Structure 1
Amino acid sequence: MNHAPAMHGYRRSLRPDCLLTFWLNYQPPLHWPSLLGFLSARCIAGIETVQAGVYSRSVVVAGRHAVIQVSRARGHRLKLTLSGVPAAALPGLIARVRRVFDLNAQPARIEAQLGTDPLMARLIAVRPGLRVPQGWDGFEQAMRTVLGQQISVAGAMTLAARMVVRYGQPLSSQVAEAAGLSHVFPVPAAVVDEDLSVLGMPRSRAATLSTLARALLAEPNLLRPGADLDSWVQRLCQLRGIGPWSAQYLALRQLGASDALPLGDVALVKALRLLEGPEVQLADRARAWSPWRAYAAQHLWVSLS
């Protein structure tokens, strides 16, 4: 169900504790194994799980704790199950889930253009319909991005889980029955004045996390799309501890900028050189992938799995 008007009929009688199911359409193809695999590798203990092909996570919607579950359904649809969501918040929440799973993408158009590059044509043939997953929330994605600077994905998720336990709120008992979910992700105010180095990271990285939390408290729209990607990246790089890699990665994951590309990413360079040889330069090759460089990056990252 994608139609907001269909919700109006039961808004007054819908109880917040109701379990609701929606089917989200998308333009095929969609490479579900890669999408679920990406999310599974980046699950933060306490707020996310992937079990038996179902992605579950805790969220805060209109000030209430809720749980969403997403799985593949028949046809060109995903199944979305919601618990604890106020009726008035349903359209916005469904739109957010569509964004996180990149369901509004037009794969035929993207792959027709990206596939003019021989390397990308090969990668598209292996994973047609590959999507670029987006961050659930600007603050959460900012924390994930900084925690992931110069360490492995597993190491970053360990730090994120510590942050959740120490600074996140316990999940409301009304929706806490979902297996493996115990908290909601912290809000900026909960960490802004804390010494986050106690979580086990360098003080410089902890300071960057605090800087971002402070910046987002002062300007909640900081991580929303601007008029120009380059200007947005330059503006973000003015924050202490945020360089081009972090800014481009945030543009890719949070803004949904289709042409964002973190050129300094070690994994991207590794993937490209494994595919095309040790001398190839990412910056040179990436010119052929515009305006879909984010999708090219996603293909390169998953080629390493």
Structure 2
Amino acid sequence: MNRTISLPYLPPYDWPATLAYFGGRAIPGVEVVTGETYARTVFLSGRCGTFSLAPGQGDVLVAAIDHPDPAIVPQILARLRPMFDLDADPVVIAAALSRDPDLARLVAERPGLRVPGAWNGFELAVRAILGQQVSVNAATRLAGRLVSAFGEPLAPERAVAGLTHLFPTPGQLREAEVAATLGMPGARGRAINALAAEAQANPRLFDGGRGLDAAVAALKTLSGIGEWTAQYIALRALREPDALPAADLALLRSLDTGTGRPTSVQLLARAEAWRPWRGYAAMHLWASDAARIAAALPPAARSGPPRPA
């Protein structure tokens, strides 16, 4: 079954920034970003499929869904709206953040910047653990190796260019030799095993709606998940717009005006004025930091427009 559906949003929408964010973290075999299009594999109703998303005419994104079961279309659409932050009101968010003079400049530079979400909370949490203490590129390579080793391959007739595997399920990772296979610290591999076991036992583990404080507290009870990782998962997977990983180095670096970086405590104090949109403020600060780093590179090292951190 192939179906094309338009998904409206409130403008403005910075699709290039959203696409760059996903593109910099696309899991090999599971996700592909080409041109103006994001695509990935999915497993719903016991069967494999794919979808892609690209800009349409007017204030819409167009989803192209390829799945054997037409009944899953509502499920896919229900995930796509939060994943691509289609229900945000950028005008309201910009007005609130612009009360901070520094953020006002960033918001004006990047109107319509969204908070990229996630297709699956478990997948994002695993990806966050893989990314602890390593670069974004290194984490992406690790995720690709994880998928190749433990993910289910698509049948040849279902696979398309670059989309070859499903992300591993909790059952597939619960007892997997993750650390040995990926050559990563044993503690991190055991954290993924523990996360998989918890996700398998509690299918609602990554459901939203609990509120930020309760969600972060619950996530921090899981092995290998501290404050930063819990806030990051809450922001992207649980769709908590006020989540803020205050100890994030790039956030602190972006607020250095020449007199030194603030501490995470100082950032939290300043961010009180950004509520309830601290997550959007973080996106603007990450984007600003990435642009500043890219601008400092020699021309030969620049591979395109700056991407959000």
Shared fold by TM > 0.5? yes
The Cα of 1:19 is off from its aligned counterpart by: 1.9
The Cα of 1:91 is off from its aligned counterpart by: 1.0
Matched length: 286
The percent identity for this pair of structures is: 44
* Equivalent of 1:146 in 118, 121, 129: 129
* CA distance in 1: counterparts of 2:94 and 2:155, whole angstroms: 43
C-alpha RMSD of matched pairs (Å): 1.3
* CA distance in 1: counterparts of 2:123 and 2:136, whole angstroms: 15
The Cα of 1:284 is off from its aligned counterpart by: 2.5
The Cα of 1:242 is off from its aligned counterpart by: 1.2
| Conserved 8 A contact 1:263-1:282 | yes
* CA distance in 2: counterparts of 1:276 and 1:67, whole angstroms: 47
The Cα of 1:226 is off from its aligned counterpart by: 4.3
* Equivalent of 1:195 in 177, 186, 196: 177
The Cα of 1:112 is off from its aligned counterpart by: 1.1
State yes or no: 1:20 paired with 2:3.
yes
| Conserved 8 A contact 2:228-2:248 | yes
Matches within 5 A, 1:1-305: 18-176=1-159, 178-198=160-180, 199-273=182-256, 275=257, 277-280=259-262, 281-305=266-290
Give the secondary-structure state (helix, strand or coil) at the position aligned to 2:53: strand
With structure 1 as the length reference, what TM-score do the two structures score?
0.90
The structure 1 segments of at least 4 consecutive aligned residues displaced by more than 6 Å after TM superposition are none
5+ long unaligned stretches in structure 1: 1-17
The Cα of 1:236 is off from its aligned counterpart by: 1.7
| Conserved 8 A contact 1:49-1:181 | yes
Give the secondary-structure state (helix, strand or coil) at the position aligned to 2:198: helix
Classify 1:279/1:157 alpha carbon distance in 2 versus 1 (closer, same or farther; 3 Å): closer
* CA distance in 1: counterparts of 2:183 and 2:249, whole angstroms: 23
Q: Deviations over 1:76-96 (max 9, x none)?
A: 011111111522111111111
With structure 2 as the length reference, what TM-score do the two structures score?
0.89
Q: Deviations over 1:118-167 (max 9, x none)?
A: 11111111110110011110110110111111111101011100110000
* CA distance in 2: counterparts of 1:20 and 1:240, whole angstroms: 41
| Conserved 8 A contact 1:84-1:174 | no
Classify 1:143/1:107 alpha carbon distance in 2 versus 1 (closer, same or farther; 3 Å): same
The Cα of 1:173 is off from its aligned counterpart by: 2.8
The Cα of 1:283 is off from its aligned counterpart by: 2.0
1:180 maps to amino acid? G
Classify 1:40/1:233 alpha carbon distance in 2 versus 1 (closer, same or farther; 3 Å): same
5+ long unaligned stretches in structure 2: 291-309
